[in-house]
Every structure is written in structure tokens, then in C-alpha cells.
Amino acid sequence: MGILVGTGLVVRIVLFILIAFSVLSWTIIMFKFFQIYKANSDSERFMDFFWKSKRFDAIASQVDRFTGSPLTVLFNEGYGELGKFVEGSGKADPSILSTDLGGIENVSRALRRATNSEITRLEKYTTFLATTGSTSPFIGLFGTVWGIMTAFEGIGKTGSASLAVVAPGIAEALIATAIGLVAAIPAVMAYNHFQHKIRVLINEMDSFSTEFLNIVQRNVAGK
Amino acid sequence: MGVSFSISAVIHLAVFLLLLWWGQLFPTTATVQETYYVDVVNLPVANPRAGSPTQKGNDAEAPPPPQTHESPLSMPSPPQPSTKARTAPTGKAQKAEKTEKADTSSDAAFAEKMAKLESKAESQQQEAALERLRKKVKTTGSGRTGMPAGSGSEAGSDYTAYVQSRLKDAFYQTISYTSKNPEVVVHLYIDADGKVTRQKIEKSSGDRTFELSVLRAVEKAGDKLVPPPNHKVFEGTFVFKPKGISRNKL
């Protein structure tokens, strides 16, 4: 690491930026990893509970057990909208589901809005990973180019092009590219992984919305 | 998020410190193969501690100087037929003319004789030189006929050249400089055990980086030196330049 001692100011600034990128990207990687892991596990448990339950009010009373799941947000939104409609139409209990088709459209809009807000929540900060993955190598490359320029200036001043003179400058310059790649590679890998996981969760939310509306509509049609 | 940031910062700090102390935690165990340089000009070098042509060997068995049986430069006493003529009583003018003719013919004969003598002397000199070379070739196996500055007892040795070679070897690994055409003159003292006891920079162009690289090279080379011949303290002055190392002739 003594190689860092001889670097110039520009290369040091570049290295500082890259290290900051790396620290932040790893912060986001860990945060999103736990967030998506909890969302997946809670969603799985919530769906089991949802299909086992017969009444919406029973589900609503237990929904706090699955706070990490985006499906619980959808359920709360859908159930809340259903309740508002039932209250507006003079019915006392929204779990009876004696609603008409106008109410179903409202529930559908509420579910769509909740889905969008959950997608936004899940995708929050992942753009920084994409930015780190795409720009860090270029920032590192800039540091390397600058360092090599400085090294060549030194060669011009000393008038010697021996390996002993050239090699340290180039090695100092190349460390910027190395750190750029160290920051970028995990960020790109994590970004792709999280995108896949979020897509799976979006599909689950769409499926749940459809199922929720189906249940509501079946009950309306059954009345 | 705050917890994740703390963990991330700690991990990065740990990685940085690990890289910082990597060399101390896991020292490189790979041995660097020593490079040997063969000085083809001064071959054969049997042992750096041996051989010196200038101390005893060649001097003792130096070929005899060319025989001075007939010095080609010394003028042989020419025959003096004219002395008689000169000493002879000069009675008549005709007689005198005859004697003059006799003088001129004897000068020509003398010149011919001189030329023959000179050619003979030259051939003898060449023979003597050849004989000298033959004797030298015969005596190289047992005599002390090493390099001119050697101080040992066997053929082809030169401790100064040996030290210079070791320094050059180390210097290639440590060379570093920041100024144009730096130069450092170092006086070395090597004790009877082959250790560099003292190193003194006698002259420097002022490039501190180059001076340090020279001192590192001396230190590096000083670990592997064999003792000087006859277990005497060796002193030598070497001029370090980016192009290489030379002996100081001063």
C-alpha cells in the first residue's frame, strides 16, 4: 500500500471518490439485501396465511405480523378502500363484501396505486448501484490516464525511460482503475440480482391484486 | 440504512488495513534467484580471491628481454679501406682520383652490409618476441597471470571487478533517480570477512533518491560478498551512474 503514498493530488481525489462510491454502494447492497429478503419471506408467509383465512377482517387484524411484505400494504390499501366504500354505502361491515362493481373499480385503483408506491420503495437506491457500476471504471480510468500523464512528465524531466523510473508511476496510476473495478463489479452484480428479485415481487403484487379483486368480485356477484 | 452504512464503513476500513499490513502479515517467501553475470572479456575468472599478474608471477617469469647480441641501432665499425688511402702518401693527382673512386665503391658496399644487418636484427627480434609469447602461454597454468589489478594467487582473478559485478547486480534492482544524469562516487571498505564496514559518499550530484538507491545497492551487495584475497581489508572507490558502475580512476 506504500504505492498510494506517491500518488498525485488528482489521483488521490479520484481514489477518494471511488472509495466513497464503494462504501455507499455496499451500504445500499446490504440494506437492499435485508429489505428484499424480508419482503420475500414475509410475502410467502402472508400468502399462506391469506389463503388459509376465510375473512378479510381476520387477515386485517394479523397483518402487522408481515410488515416487510409489500402484499400487506396492498391488502391494507384494498381493504381500506373497500371499507370506505362500504361505509359510504351505509353497510356496517366491509368484510361482508356486499359491494357493487363501482366499488371494485375503486379498490382496483387503490391496489394499483399501492403497487406503484411499493415498486418505488423497493427500487429506491438501486439506481445508485447502477450509477456506480457504470461510472466507477471510467472514473478509475480517468485517474489512471492522469497518473500516466504525470509519470511521462517525470520521464521527460529526468530524461530516463528505464523501467525503474517508468514502472512506479504506472503502478500508482493503475491502482485507480483497480479500485474503480473493485467498486463497480459488486455494484453491477448486486443491481442485477436486486432487479430480478424486485421483478419477482412485482409479479407477486400483480397476482395478489388480481386475486384480491377476484375475491371481491366473486362476493359481489354472489350477493 | 445507518446500520448498513456503519457495517460498510467498517468493512472498507478493515480491508484497507488488511492491505496496509498485508506485507507484514504475509511476508513473501519466494526466494529471489541470484543473477550471475559472466564477464566474457575477462574470462576465465577462476576465483576472485586468486591470481594477480602484477605482483609476482609474471614479473618473476617474465620473458627475458630481447638479446642484445647485435644491437641493430649500434653502428658496426665499418671497414676503413680509405684510411690506408688517406694515410698513404699522396704523390700524384691520378692516384688521388683512384683513391676517391675506391672510397665511393666501399660506401655502397657498406650500405648493403648495413641493410643486411638490419634485416637480420629484425628477424631476430621477431623470433625473440615469438619465443616470449610461447613461454608466456606455457607458464599461464602455474603462474600468476590474472587480471592486471588482481591481488590473489590464481589466474583471472580481480576482487575489484568482482565487487563491481556484485554492486552492478544489486544496483539494477535498486536504481531510482529523479534528476538528469545523476552521479555518486562511493568509497567502500570491505573487511577481511567480506563485510562492508564503511561506505562513504565522496561525491554526489545531489539527487537524494539516487544516493539512497546507491546505498541500498551497496547494502544489498554487501550481504553476499566473499572475503577479499589474503584476508586483507579491501578499499575501493566506485562511480555510480544510471548507465552503470565504474571504478574511480582518481
Radius of gyration (C-alpha) of chain B in whole angstroms: 36
Q: How far apart are CA B237 and CA B250, in angstroms?
A: 9
**Minimum distance, in Å, between the CA of residue A3 and any CA atom of chain B:** 10
- Predicted confidence (pLDDT) at residue B88 exceeds the cutoff of 80: no
Q: Read off the C-alpha cell for B230.
A: 589474503
User: Across residues A101-123, what is the average pLDDT?
Assistant: 86
User: Across residues B214-222, what is the average pLDDT?
Assistant: 86
Between B91 and B130, where is the model more confident? B130
Query: A178 CB near a chain B CB, below 8 Å?
Result: no
User: Across residues B106-132, what is the average pLDDT?
Assistant: 86
Query: A163 CB near a chain B CB, below 8 Å?
Result: no
Residue A180 carries which side chain, given as an amino acid letter?
A: G
Q: Which residues of A touch B16 (CB under 8 A)?
A: 1
Between A192 and B111, where is the model more confident? A192
Lowest mean pLDDT among A14-18, A134-138, B34-38, B167-171: B34-38
Q: Read off the C-alpha cell for A182.
A: 473493485
DSSP code of residue B122: H
Q: Does B75 lie in the same domain as B113?
A: yes
Is B172 contained in some domain?
A: yes
Query: Least CB-CB distance to A164: which of B5, B19, B175?
Result: B175
Q: How far apart are CA A175 and CA A166, in angstroms?
A: 15
Chain A to chain B, count of Cβ pairs less than 8 Å apart?
Answer: 47
Q: Which residues of B touch A159 (CB under 8 A)?
A: 180-181
| Helices A70-88 + A163-222 axis angle, to 10 | 30
User: Across residues B8-32, what is the average pLDDT?
Assistant: 78
Chain B interface test: which of A15, A19, A23, A150 (most B C-beta within 10 Å): A23
**Minimum distance, in Å, between the CA of residue A110 and any CA atom of chain B:** 29
Q: How far apart are CA A5 and CA A172, in angstroms?
A: 9
Handedness of CA B219, B221, B225, B228 (dihedral sign): negative
Q: How far apart are CA A133 and CA A18, in angstroms?
A: 11
User: Across residues B217-235, what is the average pLDDT?
Assistant: 83
**Minimum distance, in Å, between the CA of residue A109 and any CA atom of chain B:** 31
Is B90 contained in some domain?
A: no
Cα–Cα distances in Å, from B115 out to A35, B75, B79? 116, 11, 15
Is B16 contained in some domain?
A: no
- Predicted confidence (pLDDT) at residue B153 exceeds the cutoff of 80: no
Per-residue pLDDT tens digits for A137-184: 999 999 999 888 888 887 777 766 667 667 777 887 888 999 999 999
**Contact yes or no for B5 and A154 at CB 8 A:** no
Query: Least CB-CB distance to B177: which of A28, A31, A160?
Result: A160
Q: Does B225 lie in the same domain as B171?
A: yes
Q: Does B202 lie in the same domain as B229?
A: yes
ipTM for the assembly: 0.71
pLDDT of residue A4: 63
| Number of domains observed in the structure of chain B | 2
Any idea what the CATH number is for the domain that residue B189 is in? 3.30.1150.10
Instruction: Find the domain containing B218 and state its range.
Output: 158-247
**Minimum distance, in Å, between the CA of residue B200 and any CA atom of chain A:** 24
User: Across residues B131-156, what is the average pLDDT?
Assistant: 55
Between B160 and B83, where is the model more confident? B160
Is B200 contained in some domain?
A: yes
Query: A157 CB near a chain B CB, below 8 Å?
Result: yes
pLDDT of residue A61: 85
User: Across residues A25-36, what is the average pLDDT?
Assistant: 93
Q: What is the maximal distance between C-alpha atoms in chain B?
A: 146
pLDDT-based confidence at residue B60 (cuts at 50, 70, 90): very low
| Helices A163-222 + A101-123 axis angle, to 10 | 170
pLDDT-based confidence at residue B155 (cuts at 50, 70, 90): very low
Q: Does B241 lie in the same domain as B163?
A: yes
**Residue of A27, A22, A35 lying closest to A123 (CA atoms):** A35
pLDDT-based confidence at residue B61 (cuts at 50, 70, 90): very low
- Backbone region of residue A49 per phi and psi (left: phi > 0; alpha: psi in -120 to 50; beta: other values): alpha
| B residues 175-204 lying closer than 8 A (beta carbon) to A | 175-181
Query: Least CB-CB distance to A27: which of B4, B22, B181?
Result: B4
- Predicted confidence (pLDDT) at residue A106 exceeds the cutoff of 70: yes
pLDDT-based confidence at residue B71 (cuts at 50, 70, 90): very low
Is B113 contained in some domain?
A: yes
Is B179 contained in some domain?
A: yes
Q: Does B192 lie in the same domain as B122?
A: no
pLDDT-based confidence at residue B92 (cuts at 50, 70, 90): low
Question: What whole-number percentage of chain B has pLDDT above 90?
Answer: 1
Q: Does B76 lie in the same domain as B120?
A: yes
**Minimum distance, in Å, between the CA of residue A22 and any CA atom of chain B:** 8
- Predicted confidence (pLDDT) at residue A114 exceeds the cutoff of 60: yes
pLDDT of residue A200: 93
Q: Which residues of B touch A19 (CB under 8 A)?
A: 12
pLDDT of residue A192: 95
**Contact yes or no for B4 and A164 at CB 8 A:** no
